[in-house]
Each structure stands twice: as structure tokens, then as C-alpha cells.
Amino acid sequence: MSEAKRLIFLGAPGAGKGTYAGPLSRQWEIPTISTGDLLRANVKQGSNLGKEAKGYMDSGALVPDELVTKMVAERFSEKDAAQGFILDGYPRTIAQAEALDGILAGKNTPLTGVFNIEVPREVIIKRLTGRRVCPQCKVNYNVNTNMKPKQEGICDSCGAALIQRSDDNEKTISNRLQVYEEQTAPLADFYRRAGLLRTITAVGEIEDIVNMIRSAAEWNN
């Protein structure tokens, strides 16, 4: 069995964190832990944390750091995370990063690497404005990349009409990137000082970028 990998993927919205995490999770047999997925799962399950989070979400407020951190800590205790994990979307702030350090120190399971996935701003905007989603089977397409559907506007899998998410417009995307720069980008310096940061320029073929991340993560181990 390979050594445990406890990794964080940093990067702006649209940088491709989930795209690259997927094949690596399968190869290493570790979960990708996304805070968005965690929140939705807890709300759907009606857990105590989910009920608390739903109150904030229904009112349009941000879910507090402490609550998100509790969900992440609980997720670490599940069996599939015993040999590691890839965190996508957490931490988002220095406060969350410090809380994460405390959780992992308590388990004597430190992070093994942090990957800062960098993509030019114009590429991110093109990716996100081109994104289309199937409302039935949830498959993602992109009209600005090689992930176009075979028939324009129609899902290859089920034939449903594709939709564009309401927040996938240039103005909203620019605002999201601004928030990222202000709140989350400082994490790169935080982890650089800790000696954990590796920067990956994610321009090119998906397979090549996945291989770069894999090589760097296995070299660190």
C-alpha cells in the first residue's frame, strides 16, 4: 500500500481542482472532500450539523468557519479517509487553515502537500462562461473546450436540453475571482511558509496536468 497522502488543492473557481482530483482519488483510493458536497450531504441527511447549516444557507448567509470545520473533521473519521484525502474548497481562509492544522495535529496526521493550481484569469472566464449542465443526469459540458456535446444544446447521455447556471456569467465570475483573491489566495503564502506548497500551472491537456500533480505528490512522499 502506498504512503498516505493528505493533500489540499488550492485554486480559483474554474481552475480545475475537481477535474484533476478525480483521477488521482481513484488511483490512490482516497476520497476527494469538497465542502460543497459535505454541506449538501449533511443537509440532505438531516444531521445536526446539516440542520444548523441549512439555517444559514436558507437565509443567504455564509456558513460559519467553525461549522464547516466540524463537518470536515467528522469526514476525516470515515473509513475511506484512513489512507488520506484530497481537500477541494477547504480551507478557504487562514482561520480555516489554522483550524485544520489543529485537527490534523490532534490525529498526528499532518498534511503531506498543498498544490496551488494556477490558471490565467482569461482562461478561467472562458471556461466558466462556456459551462453547460444537464439538469437530468448532471453531466457537465463546455462549449468553449473539447467537452462540447455532440449535438449543440443537447445532453449526449439522456437527450435533455442543457442549461447554463445563472452564476456562470462574466460579471458574477469576476466577482467570485475578486473574493478568491482577497480571502483565499493568501493561503498560498501560509502554506509556502510551512514548506508544503507546490505551484502547478494548469494550462494544457488534463492528463498531463494530472501526471504533474501525481509525480510531485509521490516525490514528496
Map out the domains of the chain with their CATH numbers: 5-120+171-220 (3.40.50.300), 131-167 (no CATH)
Mean pLDDT value across the chain:
91
Per the annotation, the verdict on 92 as an active-site residue is yes
- pLDDT for 58 equals 84
Centroid of chain to Cα 74:
18
Three-state DSSP state, 142:
strand
Mean predicted confidence (pLDDT) in 112-138: 92
Report strand pairing: 84-88 vs 32-34. parallel
Catalytic residue chosen out of the listed positions 17, 75, 127, 198: 17
CA-closest candidate to residue 9, choices 213, 218, 215, 178: 213
- pLDDT for 185 equals 86
Per the annotation, the verdict on 26 as an active-site residue is no
Catalytic residue chosen out of the listed positions 148, 176, 192, 214: 176
Q: Is a pLDDT exceeding 90 seen at residue 169?
A: no
pLDDT in tens, 203-219: 888 899 999 999 999 87
Per the annotation, the verdict on 17 as an active-site residue is yes
At how many degrees (to 10) do helices 48-58 and 35-45 cross?
Answer: 110
Q: Is a pLDDT exceeding 80 seen at residue 1?
A: no
Catalytic residue chosen out of the listed positions 5, 70, 75, 92: 92
Catalytic residue chosen out of the listed positions 6, 131, 132, 198: 131
**Which of the four pLDDT bands, split at 50, 70 and 90, describes residue 179?**
confident
- pLDDT for 220 equals 59
pLDDT in tens, 79-102: 999 999 999 989 988 999 999 999
Distance CA 66, CA 115 (A): 24
Per the annotation, the verdict on 176 as an active-site residue is yes
**Which of the four pLDDT bands, split at 50, 70 and 90, describes residue 72?**
very high
